[in-house]
Amino acid sequence: MAAYPSVAKLSRITPINDRRSDISEAGYVRQVDLSAQQVYQLDLEHPYVSSTDRTTLTSFWTSNKGTTVTVTAGDGNTYDCLFVNEPIVEAINGTWWNVRAQLVGKRN
């Protein structure tokens, strides 16, 4: 398992409700819990990073987009995660970049 790069980041951790609800033919609400444990969404923001750090983050995604990665988040906990999609990269002025990554996983 690869460790997420130690580029400075802001992190937002949100518990995901993995219950699925529907209405039965008799008109009752029913619900199924699909998780064995709590699942979390991690939104990682890397504001004003250099071109070198931007390349580190995007290369990490390219190499690990289909595998589990370990993230140490701002709350001090580690999470085993999968990427939800490719990181979003925004140019600030050609020298600095904002990079945002979204992952889902479980807390260790």
**The overall pTM is greater than 0.85:** no
* Tally of structural domains, the chain: 1
Once rounded to an integer, what is the mean pLDDT over residues 22-48?
Answer: 87
| Residue 89: per-residue pLDDT | 97
**pLDDT tens column, 83-101:** 999 999 999 988 899 999 9
Residue-by-residue DSSP string for 37-102: S-EEEEEEEEEEE-HHHHHHHHHHHHHHTTS-EEEE-TTS-EEEEEESSPPEEEESSSS-EEEEEE
